[in-house]
Amino acid sequence: MPVQEVLVYPDPRLKQVCDPAITGSDTTTNLVRDLVDTMYDSGHSVGIAAPQIGICLRVAVVDVSHNKLGKKHNHGLMVLINPTIIESSGSKTMREGCMSVPDYTGNVERAREIVVQFTNSDGNDQVVRCKGFEAVAIQHELDHLDGFLFIDRVSNPGTDIFKRKH
């Protein structure tokens, strides 16, 4: 499937709460392919969610295995259909960036470890424990499904948002 254009804030579609996806439907299957292709094509992204390409469905993909921060602890490519975080613990502040907010990064506090429940691309229900950078990336992508951007999670916009050096 083709690489899709990534919406950029303040596009209002990025602030919508997404509808559940129908597992196994052609729409969901094609969406997953588009998300994976778009994420890998960027060369630097570790995740992308459906609303970032203008589709308001609860689907995201994450793969931190190619990033130095995710090399140790990762589950490879994760296709998250209708995901829910069912457990979280600890706290970690990391600098986050986003393809939909290309000119800025920000310090965001997230859970250090999570348990996420979702349906994978084969239609199987899964429950996976994630930690570190992978857990942070999943929380970031799941925020997109509820209309949140990392800039909404920054505790002090005056000191914790940074202009990206291009």
Q: Does 2 score more than 90 pLDDT?
A: no
DSSP secondary structure letter of residue 15: G
Residue 164: CB atoms within 10 A of its CB come to: 10
Helix (H) or strand (E) holding 162: strand 161-163
Q: Does 1 score more than 60 pLDDT?
A: no
Instruction: Report the mean per-residue pLDDT for the chain.
Output: 96
CATH of residue 138's domain is 3.90.45.10
- Determine, yes or no, domain membership for 1: no
Which residue among 87, 113, 134, 141 is the active-site one? 141
pLDDT above 90 covers what percent of the chain? 96
Q: What is the pLDDT of residues 123-134, one digit of tens each?
A: 999 999 999 999
- Determine, yes or no, domain membership for 7: no
Q: Which two tokens stand for residue 129?
A: 């424990």
Residue 141 falls in the annotated catalytic set: yes
Number of domains in the chain: 1
Q: What is the pLDDT of residues 27-78, one digit of tens each?
A: 999 999 999 999 999 999 999 999 999 999 999 999 999 999 999 999 999 9
pTM for the structure as a whole: 0.97
User: Can you give the residue range of the structural domain that contains 28?
Assistant: 12-163
- Tokens 């800025």 correspond to 104
CA atoms within 13 A on the CB side of 89: 6
